[in-house]
Structure 1
Amino acid sequence: MKKGWLMILLSMFTCLTNIRAQQKHYKPVIEPCKCPVEVDSTIKTRCGYLIVPENRKKRNGKTIKLPFIVALSPNPHKRKDPILYTAGGPGGSSLRWARGAARHAIIKDRDCIAFEQRGTYFAQPRLWTDDIVQAIQESYRKNLDKDSMILVGVQRSKKALEAKGIDLSGYNTDETVADIDDLLITLNIDSVNLLGGSYSGGLMLAVLQHDPARVRSLVLDSPLPAFVPIDEDEPANFNEALTIMFRRCEKDSVDKTLYGNLRQRFRDYFTAIGNKTFYIPYLEKGTTDTLQVAYTRNELLNVLVNTMSDYSRIKEVPYIITEMIKGHHAVYMKDVLDGIFNNGGFASGMRISVYCADQTAYHDESILRQVYNVYPYMEGYHINDVHRQICDCWKVPPINPKTKQPFYSNKPALLADGEMDPACRPLYIDRIHHYMPNSQRLLFTNGSHMVLGGREMDTMVRAFLDNPFQPVIPQQEGVIAY
């Protein structure tokens, strides 16, 4: 009788294996290569390309090459569950993380894998052209409408990428989740710890949703879950972070003349300048003719958003606001223009494809109008560089609706965020915790976006990875564990 049941089980297993093989109409391949990024010479590395289909929904045989670096732990008794990291953005490059991992204590216990997402810097192909940046530069040189010129650049970039034979519909979270799945299977990794931040925090949750059996734990820094409508949230997120900053400024500042009632003064001023155009003389590097460059409150808001996102500069924001209210814009606009004319980055093709498929496809424009009613000084300002008009031009299909849905899991996770984060609020780690009751949260009260690094990586993250079900005890002031 037992033998009969054994044969039945073996038959069922063979059947399921054959079904899975039939569903996957390709075989991922690893091609060894020289490491695109140099890692500490004392650390041994294994580098290669993962070769997978560009679009798994199309059986045209077209493949792409995604590089990865395995920084090997020198510990002969290392754990068998490595750490897999991939960058946020979307569109950020991941491989340089391996250089930092080699200097941190986490490599003493485990191998560290950095995986480059499709379409990003070291991937083949890379989804980048200069068309959008050039269009933005032209808009400032000739004082043309910025949003219209961005769309011109987007159209040119799309045409250039497609002329190379790139299928833009193959670049999204669903495909990247499948890439990570293929990488783990091909490297024979049965247990892995996932590390991601911002967009890649949500990406790692999608990996867990796709293949929970393979995931041992997750470390998510300022994560953006796929189920969050960031297009609709982010203006409010920025204002929540500002409100906390204004409250602290009101409490701590001794100069009540300069900083008193700053929140209301900020709102009044930025509401009042909504329809105004300002001008600044600017000499582009390498030229001799000074331009009179037009700008609006959108550029000033960009300065504040970017400064709020840099934890080392958050304390400057109140002073910057007081200067802007006085009309002292020049020093900040010069930095903005220097960045733009020094080939300052805009959204890459990868970022556009992912945001359009993941977010804008599910975005409700009427909710964004509600946000502008609450925060009228932000109306017409695109806090995210990828928005509806761009996606209407880019035209890529949405990701699977299932990927957008929250899901429950008993996996352990370490969730961290900064109280001053203007992009992904601590609310998001609370929402993840709701669905993942074995997770624990770290709030960096003086932190902004992306808070795990340096000493924190060596202590709290390592402690969590060693005992993911045990409470992590913060080793520094200003960090609240809950």
Structure 2
Amino acid sequence: MLTLCLAFAGALPGVSYAQTPQTRAVFEPGACAVEVASDEKIDCGTLTVPENRSAADSRTIRLPVIIFRSRAAQPASDPVMFLTGGPGNSALTGQRSGKSNPFLDARDQVLLEPRGARLAQPALECPDINALKGEIGAGRMRGEAAEAALVAAAAACRARLADAGVDLNGYTSAEVADDIEDLRLALGYRQLNLYALSYGTRLALTVARRHPASVRAMVLDSALPPEVNYDETASANSWRALNAAFDGCAVDPACAAAWPNPRADFQALVARADKERLPFGLADASIDARGAQVAQAVGMALQNPRLIPLIPRAVGAARQGRYEEIGGWITQAQGPSTFTWGLRLSVWCGEEAPFQDADRVRAQTSPDYGLGGMDARTASPAMCSAWNVAAASAVENQAVRSDAPTLILAGEFDPSTPPQWGRRLLANMPKAYFVQMPGLSHGASFNACGGRMAFDFVNDPTAPPAMTCVAKLAGADFAASAVR
């Protein structure tokens, strides 16, 4: 592991760079929290901030930082900061090298581990929830029993973290936005370019609301606006993406000839799997693959542009008794959750649950939705009741107005954050551009075309995005489903 104790531009170790004395934010250069390439210009350190800025006697917490230094002789004064999805993901895990990062040709890239995430101190891990999510995904636990187990695990994890002195009310998007601002000040950067994915887009919008002068430009991939009530529409979002795939087959002559009604094939397969255990040929005999597991597997395929065109064939073949393809997808969709659930619940139960219709949220797992009871929600009302954190200010459920130049990218088949959510941001962001990426899904910028657009936009956010590569995207070729 590389240890770096270099001086940073505009910053000295151990000195507070907070806007007010009460925040007590301190950045100290030091060892990297993850192993990084030893032959590159990479600096690391730790940002120490109050756990809860609204509490005068708050203890401090420690957040690891990685700075991939620019290759330019005179780097721009505004780095790129990537904001990961979640909530509950690590921003640093797996970030070893910047060698193939085009942003470093002109500017630094900064990564800050979110408070409460895996590499932060403390990390709000709830391993029992991670394991239970795997059991539920495998069909070994269902319905009321699954919900009761998750609620009990949430209550136990909350009690354990509280006994350890954790103030769970300090783990909010607003606090993370202030962490980002404190880090900007500490490192001496004039402004930041925020490149965000999924929940990270909600966090970027929170930064833009709380610290507008600090944001030079934003790239928002798979937007999650703060005002949408995610868990109220989890099943509807899944069906929107499913219908896009089924309609794509219907207008492709080869696919339509091979599979005249993939929507009916899917519905019949889910219903049959709920009535009897079908021979999916799974290597793990403990997986009880019912309707929810079929829907979960197809939902996994909707996240993968390579698999999206094959959905009609997979469900149609399974309805005809050929289960190999869908069985493979069911296997791929298995495994425990990887989120840091204490962080996930603190953010979600404080900022989403108080503003949602609990009855609508509970209804999302009803068999009436035709998804076998699949649970695409982030957290149930009962889990949030057990987590018991303070409700956020009403502003956290309101649309953000921002004059920051912004590129919004959305995937056509995204089952989690539909393109409409990105498009709606335009109403309050006069300098924003919306681009829907054909054939793509969640994480629409993680390809050559999207990456180029993000890079060009950060370099010159005053110029409208060039759409040449978007126009050349082939989209989903559903004729692939006609190949048996």
Which TM-score band (shorter chain)? Answer: 0.7 to 0.9
User: Does 2:133 match 1:130?
Assistant: no
Alignment of 1:46-65 (within 5 A): 46-65=43-62
1:88 deviates by: 0.7
**TM-score in terms of structure 1 length:** 0.84
User: Does 2:214 match 1:217?
Assistant: no
User: Does 2:110 match 1:113?
Assistant: yes
The SS at the match of 1:427 is helix
Q: Return the alpha-carbon distance in structure 1 between the equivalents of residues 57 and 283 of structure 2.
A: 47
| 1:360–1:326 Cα change, 3 Å | farther
Q: Give 1:307's aligned amino acid.
A: A
Equivalent residues of 2:89, 2:339 under 8 A apart: no
Q: Return the alpha-carbon distance in structure 2 between the equivalents of residues 229 and 449 of structure 1.
A: 18
Q: Say how many residue pairs are matched.
A: 453
User: Does 2:404 match 1:407?
Assistant: no
Equivalent residues of 1:134, 1:153 under 8 A apart: no
1:322 aligns with 316
Alignment of 1:183-198 (within 5 A): 183-198=183-198
1:4 aligns with none
Q: Give 2:436's aligned amino acid.
A: L
- Indicate which of 357, 360, 363 corresponds to 2:353: 360
Equivalent residues of 1:459, 1:475 under 8 A apart: no
Q: Give 1:411's aligned amino acid.
A: A
Q: Give 1:276's aligned amino acid.
A: K
1:408 deviates by: 2.3
Q: Return the alpha-carbon distance in structure 2 between the equivalents of residues 390 and 467 of structure 1.
A: 44
Q: Return the alpha-carbon distance in structure 1 between the equivalents of residues 266 and 331 of structure 2.
A: 23
- Indicate which of 462, 468, 474 corresponds to 2:467: 474
Alignment of 1:313-462 (within 5 A): 313-326=307-320, 343-345=336-338, 348-368=341-361, 376-378=369-371, 380-456=373-449, 459-462=452-455
**TM-score in terms of structure 2 length:** 0.84
Q: Return the alpha-carbon distance in structure 2 between the equivalents of residues 179 and 214 of structure 1.
A: 13
Q: Return the alpha-carbon distance in structure 1 between the equivalents of residues 311 and 280 of structure 2.
A: 24
Equivalent residues of 1:202, 1:225 under 8 A apart: yes
Post-superposition Cα deviations, 1:371-413, rounded to whole Å, max 9, x if no partner, equal 7899631474321242212112111122221122113222210
1:269 deviates by: 4.6
Alignment of 1:211-250 (within 5 A): 211-250=211-250
Q: Return the alpha-carbon distance in structure 2 between the equivalents of residues 197 and 135 of structure 1.
A: 26
Q: Return the alpha-carbon distance in structure 2 between the equivalents of residues 368 and 200 of structure 1.
A: 22
Residue range with higher mean Cα deviation, 197-206 or 177-186: 177-186
1:278 aligns with 277
Residue range with higher mean Cα deviation, 415-424 or 121-130: 121-130
| 1:357–1:326 Cα change, 3 Å | farther
Q: Return the alpha-carbon distance in structure 1 between the equivalents of residues 327 and 149 of structure 2.
A: 19
Q: Give 2:389's aligned amino acid.
A: V
Equivalent residues of 1:408, 1:436 under 8 A apart: yes
Q: Return the alpha-carbon distance in structure 1 between the equivalents of residues 96 and 467 of structure 2.
A: 25
Post-superposition Cα deviations, 1:13-68, rounded to whole Å, max 9, x if no partner, equal xxxxxx963xx523101122212234444431221111111122223341111111
| 1:110–1:375 Cα change, 3 Å | farther
User: Does 2:292 match 1:298?
Assistant: yes
| 1:97–1:225 Cα change, 3 Å | farther
Equivalent residues of 2:231, 2:378 under 8 A apart: no
1:262 aligns with 262
The SS at the match of 2:402 is coil
The SS at the match of 1:25 is helix
| 1:113–1:323 Cα change, 3 Å | same
Structure 1's unaligned 5+ residue stretches are: 1-18
Residue range with higher mean Cα deviation, 141-150 or 293-302: 141-150
RMSD over equivalenced CA pairs, Å: 3.2
Q: Return the alpha-carbon distance in structure 1 between the equivalents of residues 53 and 248 of structure 2.
A: 50
Q: Return the alpha-carbon distance in structure 2 between the equivalents of residues 275 and 474 of structure 1.
A: 45
Post-superposition Cα deviations, 1:305-332, rounded to whole Å, max 9, x if no partner, equal 1221122322232222224434666875
Residue range with higher mean Cα deviation, 95-104 or 438-447: 95-104
Q: Return the alpha-carbon distance in structure 2 between the equivalents of residues 121 and 396 of structure 1.
A: 20
Q: Return the alpha-carbon distance in structure 1 between the equivalents of residues 78 and 109 of structure 2.
A: 10
1:87 aligns with 84
1:173 aligns with 173
Post-superposition Cα deviations, 1:430-454, rounded to whole Å, max 9, x if no partner, equal 1111111211122110110002135
Q: Give 1:191's aligned amino acid.
A: Q
Q: Return the alpha-carbon distance in structure 1 between the equivalents of residues 460 and 292 of structure 2.
A: 46
The SS at the match of 1:148 is helix
Equivalent residues of 1:73, 1:110 under 8 A apart: yes
Structure 2's unaligned 5+ residue stretches are: 1-17, 474-484
Equivalent residues of 2:89, 2:340 under 8 A apart: no
Equivalent residues of 1:98, 1:113 under 8 A apart: no
Residue range with higher mean Cα deviation, 44-53 or 383-392: 383-392
| 1:154–1:66 Cα change, 3 Å | same
The SS at the match of 2:22 is coil
1:69 aligns with 66
| 1:436–1:59 Cα change, 3 Å | same
Identity of matched residues, %:
27
1:252 aligns with 252
Residue range with higher mean Cα deviation, 460-469 or 410-419: 460-469
Equivalent residues of 1:133, 1:345 under 8 A apart: yes
| 1:255–1:217 Cα change, 3 Å | closer
| 1:453–1:279 Cα change, 3 Å | closer
The SS at the match of 2:376 is coil
